[in-house]
Structure 1
Amino acid sequence: MKSKSAEKIRLTSYDELFGAEDNNVEGTYTTVPLSQLRPFKNHPFKVLDDEKMQETVESVIQHGVIQPGIVRPCADGYEVVAGHRRWRACELAGKAEMPVIIRNLDDDAATVLMVDTNIQRENLLPSEKARAYKMKYEALKHQGSKGDKHTADAVGEKAGDSGRTVQRYIRLASLIDGFLELVDTGRVAMIAGERLSFLKPEEQEMVLGAAGNIGAYPSPVQAGQLKAMSEEGTLSEGSIYALLVKKENGGQSVTISSKKIRDYFPPAYTKTQIEEVIYSLLEQWKQEKEEETDAGNTV
């Protein structure tokens, strides 16, 4: 007889491999050929042939697909709503078919389910969350959710993100791919990406090109300045280079130990959440200093 602790270990491993889903899903259980499966339109989550995928492949070879995918009928087969990684694992394992639950879902319901069954995965990139949250936000609005704040709160509920955090991720979805990749790799801070997202795509391309040539990417403060220039109609190639070169030739760099910084935050805080708090406090401090200067000048 297996111990409760052994069962817990197995279940945790399974959830990591396949993702947690509602076991009481309504629909028709069946097995379909892999050739009849189609990816979800604009699926925002990456399916990588990495180490975790190899673990999933080995599990499929040894035990089969224990948790069926969720699909819905489409014109030439079945669109995968949940189970893209299992589908890929079946392909790599040499399987010809996969167990699924067929559900009749409209576009909005399918989108919400697709996001909810993936959003709790570990190590999601900012670009994945940005596109996923935008899709779910629009789906909930179509379903009749009232109020931007209420909808944003509902979008982030499954992953434990606040409505404000959701809105920031949704802003990132307006970034061009080049900047999204820089946010994913940490070369551009999320708060800087949020501010750059207000620039028109052609303006973002200009900034990205200049940054690449100089080798210096906009800081959160500079991103705010670029946003202001865009709104004022003064953003140009010359003004972009002048701003970024100023940073490259700027003052003394400051390095702070990440361990020291983490001492001030709860253990569960992610790098992105820590950055948001730090930049928010710095902005507040900067504004207070500017107000003090202005007050001194008026005396």
Structure 2
Amino acid sequence: MSDTTTNAPKKRGKKQAQETPAAPPQDEQVVRLPLSELHSFKGYPALRGVMPGNQPYQVRDDDPSMQQIAARIKERGVRQPAIVRLDPEGGYEIIAGHRRHRGSELAELPDMPAIIRGMSDEEAVIEMVDSNVQREDVLPSERAWAYRMRLEVEKHQGARTDLTSPKISAKFRSDDEIGKSLGISGDTLRNYASLTELLPQLLKLVDEKQIALSPAYQLAYLTKDEQMLVLDALDYSQNMPSLSQAQRLKKASQQGALTVELSRSIMSEEKKSEQDRVVLTGDKLKKYFPKSYTPQKMEETIIKLLEAWQKKRQRSQER
């Protein structure tokens, strides 16, 4: 088995592993730790009992990517060590590497490589979020809780002492700075974090891509009781909310007028006009045209190109 721990002992007992001192990053060493001594991050204190599972990222055995990880680990071992910290109550908390840990279990390995790092709760959160932010298979709910947790860290550190909800509008540069470090805007950071206000049933629909993100952001402003009305309306209408419908539900909520009847009425409306509409903005089109082209000139050119394309398709079908 080949991995990053070629020169490290093949297996370390609990006592020996715990005697490994915390070291500066440049001096960190990779050690092998028994899988039985590794357990999930216990969660950020401010969100324990609030965040499902006490951590944003969930390990799912039925996830195809999880199955691929397990297969790769069985074939060649764990190449990238996990990041862990010593748990005073015994063993180690996994900060980064939960899926590698589970993959090792599925591959029936006894241990895995890890870096033991001394970290505060806040440092652990930052490491966890930063190490997963670029993954393509992160669910909206996972990203939402990760960003909510990141904002809670900022609040705890005193930079956002008057922040009480992730829904509050941008007034603090710290949000934009955090977003920039994650490769997103401050607004995107707050919008995702607001999804944690959704009922689990609605957030699941977002994960399943039945409810798009933009409507979901609007629904997150509703109270829990009002969200129950929305769930009833979805079942009644057998529809999922468009952005326009979600905005009207939010407006009715702000006016204190959202009822069972109104929510059902809004969700029962035909959405054909929205489905048939295609919007091409100038920003999307201008890169394809010379700077001298006016919007009218661009439209005329597009129509001509579409007509030529249609004629070409007709000739092809006649052959």
Q: TM-score, normalised by structure 1?
A: 0.71
Q: Which amino acid aligns with 1:67?
A: Q
Q: Does 1:205 align with 2:228?
A: yes
Report the alpha carbon displacement of residue 252 of structure 1 after superposing the two structures with TM: 4.6
Indicate yes or no: 2:90 matched with 1:79: no
The runs of at least 4 aligned residues of structure 1 exceeding 4 Å deviation read: 23-28, 250-253
CA contact (8 A) 1:175 1:197 kept: yes
Per-residue deviation, residues 24-48 of structure 1 (Å, max 9, x unmatched): 5665642222112111232212323
- CA–CA separation in structure 2 for the residues paired with 1:254 and 1:94: 49
Q: Deviations over 1:42-83 (max 9, x none)?
A: 221232334433332233233322221111122132110000
For the 8 Å contact 1:71–1:100, the answer to whether it is kept is yes
Aligned position for 1:159:
182
| Structure 1 residue aligned with 2:258 | 235
Residue 39 to residue 214, structure 1, CA distance change in 2 (3 Å): same
Deviates more, 1:180-189 or 1:204-213: 180-189
**What is the aligned counterpart of 2:55 among 35, 39, 43?**
43
Instruction: Give 1 or 2 for the bigger CA radius of gyration.
Output: 2
Q: In the superposition, relative to structure 1, how do residues 120 and 255 fare at CA in structure 2: closer, same or farther (>3 Å)?
A: same
Deviation at 1:159, TM superposition (A): 3.4
The separation in 1 between residues aligned to 2:247 and 2:274, in whole angstroms, is 20
Q: 1:51 to 1:226 in 2, by over 3 A?
A: closer
**What pairs up with 1:86-101 in 2 under 5 angstroms?**
86-101=100-115
Q: CA deviation at 1:193?
A: 0.8
Structure 1, unmatched stretches of 5+, are 1-22, 267-299
Partner of 1:264: 284
What letter is aligned with 1:112?
Answer: I
Q: Which letter does structure 2 place at the counterpart of 1:264?
A: K
Q: Does residue 126 in structure 1 map to residue 136 in structure 2?
A: no
Q: Which runs of 5+ in 2 are unaligned?
A: 1-23, 44-53, 161-169, 287-319
AA in 1 matched with 2:86: P
Q: Aligned partners of 1:222, 1:253: CA distance in 2, in Å?
A: 11
Contact kept, 8 Å, 1:29 with 1:101, in 2: the verdict is yes
User: What pairs up with 1:46-195 in 2 under 5 angstroms?
Assistant: 46-49=58-61, 50-74=63-87, 75-145=89-159, 149-195=172-218
Which deviates the most, 173-182 or 150-159? 150-159
| Residue 255 of structure 1: aligned partner | 276
- Residue identity in the other structure for 1:170: A
- With over 3 angstroms needed to count, the CA separation of the structure-2 counterparts of 1:257 and 1:230, relative to structure 1, is closer
Go from structure 1 to structure 2 and tell me whether the alpha carbon gap of 1:76 and 1:201 turns closer, same or farther (over 3 Å shift): farther
Distance, in Å, in 2 between the alignment partners of 1:25 and 1:233 is 58
Describe the shift of the 1:257–1:223 C-alpha distance in structure 2 as closer, same or farther (beyond 3 A).
closer
Give, in whole Å, the separation in 2 of the partners of 1:128 and 1:65.
Answer: 24
Equivalent in the alignment of 2:35: 34
Structure (1/2) with the larger helix percentage: 1
User: Match for 2:127: what amino acid?
Assistant: L
2:285 and 2:188 map into 1 onto residues whose CA distance is 17
For the 8 Å contact 1:26–1:103, the answer to whether it is kept is no
More displaced stretch, 29-38 vs 92-101: 29-38
SS in 2 for 1:173: helix
Check the 8 A contact 1:72/1:78 in 2, yes or no: yes
User: Deviations 1:160-216 (Å, cap 9, x if unpaired)?
Assistant: 111111111111121111211222233222121111111111211221122122111
Classify 1:254/1:86 alpha carbon distance in 2 versus 1 (closer, same or farther; 3 Å): closer
CA contact (8 A) 2:60 2:66 kept: yes
AA matched with 1:127: S
Distance 1:95 1:218 in 2: 46
Q: How many residues align?
A: 241
Separation in 1 of the partners of 2:251 and 2:278? 32
Q: Distance in 2 between matches of 1:26 and 1:234?
A: 61
- In structure 2, the CA distance between the partners of 1:56 and 1:202, relative to structure 1 (3 Å rule), is same
Task: Give the conservation status (yes or no) of the 8 Å contact 1:130–1:170.
Answer: yes
Contact 2:236 2:264 in 1 (8 A): no
Instruction: Single out whichever of 108-117 and 176-185 deviates more from structure 2.
Output: 176-185
